Structure 1
Amino acid sequence: MKPAEIDQNITLGEFAFQFELSTEQREDRKKIIKPENTWVAVENKEIASKLTIFPSDIYIAGEVMRMGGISGVATWPEKRRSGLVRELLRAAMKDVKERGCEVSLLYPFSFSFYRKFGWELFADAKIWTLSSSQLPQPAPLEQGTIYRVTQKAAAVLQPIYEKWAVSYTGAVLRDKQWWEDMVLKRKTGEIVVFKNEQGEDRGYIIYKIKNQKMEVKEFIWLDEETRTALWSFLAQHDSMITEVEIRPAVNDPSRFLLADSRITEKRESYFMARIVDMTSFLQKYPLHLKEGEELDLKIEDDFCEWNKGFYSLENVDGSIHIRFYPGHSEKKGLEMNIQTAAAVFMGYITAEQAWKAGRIQGEPEQVTLLQAGVSDLEPFIYDFF
């Protein structure tokens, strides 16, 4: 996008996502938009379609990988179904590959639409709804302290978040700007932190209360002491609220540990992922193969053709050696498309589940190798873009 096209870009976004900016908000938006991160389809000097790239880093299986997020995909109605978004996505994928991104994430308006271009569901979101009477019995802290954060929240929360995020595939590595623009401006409300007796910050909550309803937007804890302390803190609000809505990590065991576990849980499909550069992805991925074991993969990818081909992965002297044979190789291996590869390597489904469902074809011995080789860390992302 050219700088002169920023106003058109904002106008299309307002129409497509049904919001309206004030003059002041529009000027603020123009200051933070980076034209080099937006691709546009232009006809007669007018933007017909657009999308924005959000470059960042994420954790995958405990390793840091470069991510090119896709957001703000919009087209004027009279220009829809003419292939513009396909071409924008193709340009964006070439762009993020050149930037060194291994993966791309997006929040879809339609899962089937983005599957056509190689994205696949990789993370769910959970919402718990419970009455105030279902909270644990309020009790004063026996150890540690709870304190409220009102200034420089990013600097306080970042060390806690980073220790937590490395345990989840898909969690964004938040820098200061990401905290300010993507978290604190969107998840407004109160912030409290639990500090243990050793003086270490071990967890936090971002929450808001309105009309006797508490909404917990982030609930992060690093150990059982912190989890218990933060739940006890929530219970101290019992006289102010009648209902609590919590958005926990998908593997949070707190529901089981409540005295009254008959709460409402809603689980919904959330983010999609795409492997942009399979070779680079495999080079960074901590695949577990024993000495001498060899795993062979045959990947189909009709949208990012550079990924299509045969990959041979072998443990040689304790390190994984990768050989790539591009294109239509006659070599045999576990056959899958790039969507299934993302779902398996990022932990949304197991290799055995994909094989039984017909999403992977190949010998069961190789399926066992793949299943044993991938990380068992849960896929989860707290952010939205």
Structure 2
Amino acid sequence: MVEYRPVPDATQAIFHEYVGYAFNPEDGPPEYDPDDVPDVMKLGGARGLYGDDAPPDADPLCVCRHYWFDTQVRGAVHPTPGLSMVASPPEHRRDGHVRRMLAASLEEYRERGARFSVLWPFRYRFYRRYGWDTCNQRATYECDPEALSFAANAIGDAGAYRKIETDDYERLVPVYESHAADYALSIDRDADWWRHRIFFGWEKDPFGYAWERDDEVRGYLLYDIDGDWSDRTMRVRELAFVDREAYLALLAFCYNHDSQVSTVKLGAPADSSLLDLAPDPDEIDREVETGPMVRIVDVADALASLSYPEIDARVTIAVEDEFVDWNDGVFALDAADGAATCRRADADPDARIDVAALAQLAVGYRSAPALEWAGRLDADAETTAALDRLFPETPVYLRDGF
């Protein structure tokens, strides 16, 4: 038998040793220095799996960290813990310990009323077998700064740039919230997250600038610059804006670095309009890759809590969840007037779907027809159409790393 429990403060050294060796094995197990541990690794809660009757100061078999996020899904805020820093030492691997810890984590999430869980995977297939799946794609644009000169020409002398520091984060919140409102799974950031994660970098902290018009912040970007004098890259970690003018102003800011950097790299949602705005889009390289992953914690609670279109519909869904038994079964979803109930049902299902695909459908990343085409949804045409009306596709972009 094993026990899942918080990692006590007295044994934080072993937590950081496990995590350091898991993600940076080339450095070997690190020496623990509490002064070197970044604040972002102290947020949330550390958990470990321990041997049966292990004393409080025992070394865990494996560890993880939970961040207690709220995220926006279909216009409402939902508890969505972030799972991070899953690690075990070599001597405890391949014994099923991580699997048991993940199952216990989901039980804790459920007890806390969480509806979804998100993570950034080291390997997608590892977490897919436990019910998480991709929730959004992300794009990276790379170009010579000159390719962004069109933005400077478009805005002229409008507005002004102002350097921003960590203590200025409150002025950025309205811009972030305006931009994030367009995307499901955007995190409802608190002050600690702004201070200790958004303005933090694992190798160097980012620089920040805001673009203001009429003394109001309309957009901002956080970035760093790497390389030597002959080949520097400006990497934009976060870029948020309230309108097209502010977006152009931020692109113009990147162009203004043409004497200092040879390359600009911009991270953005996969639906970014940069190539549509650029007069020479062939001068901008675009790479799209899969991003974070999402899971439903409790099917009945999650589906009952979502907002729905103003339609009446009833669908009985057989959900396959081989990892946690409370999600494995048939559920009746009844929607009316923009809300719904969802409960277990003793009935023949209209549709069959695995829990990971259901999470993608619920948050808006993939439509019912797309899942049916991919072999992840088994339903007749009428049921697929009903699910498509209940769960229309919507932009999803979880931008925060953790």
1:202 to 196, 213, 218: 218
2:331 corresponds to 1:322: no
- Report the equivalent of 2:327: 307
Q: CA deviation at 1:71?
A: 0.8
CA distance in 1, matches of 2:374, 2:331: 22
CA distance in 2, matches of 1:224, 1:313: 40
1:167-316 mapped onto 2 (5 Å cutoff): 167-186=182-201, 188-197=205-214, 199-210=215-226, 211=228, 212-262=232-282, 263-290=284-311, 292-316=312-336
Aligned to 2:291, the other structure's residue is in SS state: strand
Change (3 A) 1:245 1:96: same
Q: CA deviation at 1:31?
A: 9.4
Deviations 1:199-220 (A, max 9, x none): 4322111122333321111111
CA distance in 2, matches of 1:366, 1:32: 46
Change (3 A) 1:312 1:24: closer
Aligned to 1:288, the other structure's residue is in SS state: coil
CA distance in 1, matches of 2:310, 2:379: 18
CA distance in 2, matches of 1:246, 1:29: 26
5+ residue gaps, structure 2 = 1-6
- Report the equivalent of 2:16: 10
Give the letter aligned to residue 377 of structure 2. Answer: I
1:122 to 130, 135, 155: 135
CA distance in 2, matches of 1:90, 1:379: 26
Give the letter aligned to residue 334 of structure 1. Answer: A
Is 1:61–1:375's contact at 8 Å kept on the other side of the alignment?
no
2:35 corresponds to 1:25: yes
CA distance in 1, matches of 2:280, 2:303: 44
CA distance in 1, matches of 2:339, 2:38: 48
Is 2:295–2:356's contact at 8 Å kept on the other side of the alignment?
yes
Change (3 A) 1:150 1:323: closer
Q: CA deviation at 1:42?
A: 3.9
Is 1:41–1:50's contact at 8 Å kept on the other side of the alignment?
no
Change (3 A) 1:33 1:154: closer
Is 1:16–1:74's contact at 8 Å kept on the other side of the alignment?
yes
Aligned residues: 379
CA distance in 2, matches of 1:63, 1:136: 38
TM-score of the two chains, using structure 2 as the length reference? 0.87
Q: CA deviation at 1:131?
A: 1.1
CA distance in 1, matches of 2:235, 2:339: 45
Give the letter aligned to residue 83 of structure 1. Answer: G
Is 2:303–2:342's contact at 8 Å kept on the other side of the alignment?
no
Q: CA deviation at 1:311?
A: 2.6
1:346-361 mapped onto 2 (5 Å cutoff): 346-361=363-378
Change (3 A) 1:81 1:261: same
TM-score of the two chains, using structure 1 as the length reference? 0.91
1:72 to 64, 77, 85: 85
Change (3 A) 1:31 1:51: closer
CA distance in 2, matches of 1:340, 1:146: 43
CA distance in 1, matches of 2:288, 2:377: 26
Change (3 A) 1:356 1:110: same
2:383 to 361, 366, 375: 366
5+ residue gaps, structure 1 = none
2:115 corresponds to 1:99: no
CA distance in 2, matches of 1:165, 1:380: 8
